C-alpha cells in the first residue's frame, strides 16, 4: 500500500508485538517469540511508558516503532500462511 506524504502522518499500524507479560520484554503475539528484529524510533520504547504495552508503526516517524496503549485505534498488519 502506498501513502503520500500528506496522509502518512496520520496513519499507524499495529504490528503484533507487545510487552504485556513483562515490562520492556517485547514478544510477538502469534508465537510468543522475542523480537529478533526491531525498528524503534529514537527514545522508544520510552521509560515513562506506563500502560503502553503494544507496538505500532507510526506514520509521522517514517513508520518506525512506538510503544503505545493497546486501546489506540490503528490499522493492523498480519501474517498469513
Torsion angle of alpha carbons 56, 6, 80, 23, nearest 10°? 0
Domain 5-76 matching CATH 1.10.10.60: the answer reads no
pTM listed for this prediction: 0.81
pLDDT at 52 over 90: yes
pLDDT of residue 1: 47
* pLDDT tens digits along 8-33: 667 899 999 999 999 889 999 989 99
- Residue that the C-alpha cell 496513519 belongs to: 11
Average pLDDT in the 40-63 region? Answer: 89
Average pLDDT, rounded, for the chain: 86
Strands 12-18 and 75-76 turn out to be: parallel
Rounded (5°) CA angle 45-48-52: 60
Please state, as a whole number, how many other Cβ atoms lie within 10 Å of the Cβ of residue 52.
Answer: 20
Amino acid at each position: 500500500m502506498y501513502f503520500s506524504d500528506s496522509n502518512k502522518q496520520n496513519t499507524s499500524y499495529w504490528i503484533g508485538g507487545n510487552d504485556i507479560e513483562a515490562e520492556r520484554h517485547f514478544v510477538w503475539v502469534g508465537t510468543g517469540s522475542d523480537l529478533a528484529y526491531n525498528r524503534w524510533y529514537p527514545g522508544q520504547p520510552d521509560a515513562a511508558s506506563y500502560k503502553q504495552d503494544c507496538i505500532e508503526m507510526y506514520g509521522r516517524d517514517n513508520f518506525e516503532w512506538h510503544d503505545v496503549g493497546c486501546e489506540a485505534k490503528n490499522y493492523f498488519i498480519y501474517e498469513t500462511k
